[in-house]
Amino acid sequence: MMKHLFSFLIIASLLLFGCRSKTQSNFQPELSEQAEESYSLPEEYAEEVIVTGKVLNRDFYPNEKDLTLIIPFFRKMENQYCAPIQKDGSFSFRFPIFAKIREISIRNYAEHLYVHPGDSVYVEIDFKDMFHPKVTGDAEKLNQEILAFTENAYYYIQNYSIGSNLNNNDFETELKREYNLRLERRQEYIQKYKPSEEVEFLTEELLKQDYYYALLLYASHIQDETGKELERYHALLPEINGLYHKGILSARLFDIAESVENYILFGMALKNRKYPKIEDMMSLIGENTLNQYLYTKMMANCLTANDTLALAKRHAQFDSIVKMPHLRAQITQIYNRTKSYLENPQSVSDNLLYGVFHENASQKTSMSFMEPIYEMLEKDRGKVIYFDFWVKWCPPCLTEMEPLKQLRSKYSTKDLVIYSICGSEPKEEWEECLDKYSLRNRGIECIYANDFFGKENYQKICNQWNVHDMPYYILINRKGQIIDFGSSARPSNPNLRSRIEEAVKNIK
């Protein structure tokens, strides 16, 4: 089993260039010199939703100063809107949804809300009774019925907890049994609450989505364990594709699309022992809607890796494949946000370094845990600074060690400072890597994170900089601005080399 797992990790590292990477695309298109084009949001379903409300008993959690509303998308790419809780407890959000009906959530307080374009919804949140928000307004009946389903033991858990060590038949038998139990609970709910046809349909779809998601997770796990492609569940793809034609957009649909991607991607890699092209995957899937999600995911990965040229190169293909308004709208928003950052990194840099939000740039967040970072910035003022966050158990991290040394040899330490920051435990693992990859006395500042920052402060720094996937990189120019970040800003990436070259030449 360990042999298969090790082989799988090597393949995964070649494909993903990151351990659970959120930024590196599985399908990274070649860069293009073609001029970038502007993109406008699709008009269909663009009418804004207004969510207002009030927090009761604020003194129960006096440190809660704001609320976060989430519009689901792919993992770690969700739209998040932050709104302050006013002195009187009120709050408000405005946003488009680009769908006929869409699931949203207010983090920690209202996890399953559904809205239509143009809805005006009022949500009352009681900090003494956080699990029972009251919803009124345009979608009042819809949300009251959904809340009755999600809060009263009819839909209390989304994910199945069936052991993945079972064989195919045993797993499917147990999953079907659990699924039937959930259907029975749903029927009890219908008999008791007599919900609308819309909610009857919605609750049925939610259970279906969770069922297929569990199957896909299991299939990916078995491929991981055995090191062999598992074609058993290919026949389910038409049924899964049918989930996307119901007019109701839930968060789970994005989870399912990502699971299809992982299942197909790793299966093809294991079978053919080579990197699959996106066109090959789309041809195998053969279902138009799933392919729209797959292609959108590729473009979103590129954009969140601070690459806008990939979309410029493939915009005609994107337009011909991706027709669904919510997918096009999200890509447009990410594109505009990424392009704005690349053209003017100051606001994003201020937020990452100092907790400053552009909406209120006069206020800085107190972050004493960042003091070691500030001391580095002061010590290296006027130089280009490159942070490399890594751990020993991440193959892509170790793959970048040689390119990192090559990068170091290309520039003077008077121009470029490189910090190699290791978060592995125990410390001996870090020291072993220093020797194995000859990192000592290379002009690279090698840091053991827990000693240098302190374990608790290091975790806080990682949270502030979103260093949750390895490897992760931060590039700071001579002005002290973060001009690139993420898993794709790796030493071997020609884009990174170009950005460093530009930053080094830009003398203050």
Q: What is the pLDDT of residues 186-198, one digit of tens each?
A: 999 999 999 999 9
In whole angstroms, how far apart are CA 46 and each of 73, 325, 463? 17, 9, 33
Instruction: Round the CA-based radius of gyration of the chain to a whole number and report it.
Output: 24
Q: Which residues have a Cβ under 8 Å from the Cβ of 381 and sit 6 or more positions away?
A: 480
Q: Which residues of the chain have pLDDT under 50?
A: 1-17, 21-37, 358-363
Q: Is residue 408 within 8 Å of residue 444, measured between CB atoms?
A: yes
Calculated CA dihedral for residues 489, 495, 500, 501, nearest 10 degrees? 170
Of the candidates 157, 226, 182, 239, the one whose C-alpha atom is nearest the C-alpha of residue 174 is 182
**CATH ID of 48-150, from 3.30.70, 2.40.50, 1.10.3470, 2.60.40:** 2.60.40
94's tokens: 């405005």
Calculated CA dihedral for residues 81, 64, 75, 222, nearest 10 degrees? -160
CA–CA separation, 69 vs 78, rounded Å? 10
CA–CA separation, 105 vs 101, rounded Å? 13
Question: What is the structure's pLDDT at 365?
Answer: 58
Of the candidates 461, 257, 302, the one whose C-alpha atom is nearest the C-alpha of residue 375 is 461
User: Terminus-to-terminus CA distance in the chain, angstroms?
Assistant: 55
Name the β-bridge partners of 390.
Answer: 422
| pTM for the structure as a whole | 0.82
Residue ranges covered by each domain of the chain: 48-150, 168-341, 361-505
Is 48-150's fold the same as 361-505's?
Answer: no
CA–CA separation, 235 vs 221, rounded Å? 18
In whole angstroms, how far apart are CA 284 and each of 12, 212, 233, 317? 20, 18, 13, 18
Question: What is the structure's pLDDT at 446?
Answer: 96
Question: What is the structure's pLDDT at 40?
Answer: 64
Say which residue the tokens 């400072």 belong to: 417
Coil, helix or strand for 108?
Answer: coil
Residue-wise burial string across 248-260, b where 16 or more C-beta atoms lie within 10 A, e elsewhere: bbbbbbbbbbbbb
Q: Which residues have a Cβ under 8 Å from the Cβ of 179 and sit 6 or more positions away?
A: 207, 211
Strands, E assignment, 296-407: 384-390
CATH 3.40.30.10 for domain 361-505, yes or no, is yes
Q: Which residues have a Cβ under 8 Å from the Cβ of 361 and sit 6 or more positions away?
A: 347, 350
Q: Is residue 1 within 8 Å of residue 225, measured between CB atoms?
A: yes
Coil, helix or strand for 344?
Answer: coil
Of the candidates 185, 254, 155, the one whose C-alpha atom is nearest the C-alpha of residue 213 is 254
Say which residue the tokens 């949203």 belong to: 104
What is the distance of C-alpha 104 from the center of its chain? 16
Question: What is the structure's pLDDT at 112?
Answer: 87
What is the distance of C-alpha 374 from the center of its chain? 28
CA–CA separation, 369 vs 454, rounded Å? 9
